[in-house]
Structure 1
Amino acid sequence: MTTITVRAAPGLRVPMEGMPRRHITEDTAVAVSDSAYYRRRVADGDLLPRASDKTTTKAATAKPAPKTAKKKEA
């Protein structure tokens, strides 16, 4: 079965599917099954899907493009 990695939106605790006493919090990302329950919670904004580590790393380390010097007109 396919899994997705999610964490709760800030300030929320989301019950895990089939385990109402266990919660997903905003502190730790959790791998869960890609089920209708979790997809619905993501669509509602209760859970936030975690971007892949490569995407996060690239975005965090990206440097702005260098400024181009203005050409002097003669």
Structure 2
Amino acid sequence: MKVIARTGLRVPKERAARKYITDAEAVDVPDTAYYIRRVTDGDLIDQSTASDAATAPSAADTGAVSTGDKKTTKGA
């Protein structure tokens, strides 16, 4: 997982409390409970999902049909 710290924060690394993840550059970290919790808390931003979302095809590109569209009008 590739993460970066939220702007203005320094987040300690899991097994090296005096080494920090900063907002200067993204860092590869293991997918452990510690880092997942930090992402959930908002201290770290998961950069790997952001890059995956940019390359993933959208629903319009795949031809998927939205099931939430209204088919008829009321009273028609």
User: Are positions 1:39 and 2:36 aligned together?
Assistant: yes
Structure 1 unaligned blocks of 5 or more = 57-74
Residues 17, 52 of structure 1: alpha-carbon distance in 2 compared, 3 angstrom cutoff: same
1:23-34 alignment to 2 at 5 Å?
23-34=20-31
Structure number with the higher strand fraction is 1
CA RMSD of aligned residues (A): 1.6
Identity %: 55
Q: CA deviation at 1:53?
A: 6.6
Q: TM-score with structure 1 length normalisation?
A: 0.67
Aligned length, in residue pairs: 53
Q: TM-score with structure 2 length normalisation?
A: 0.65
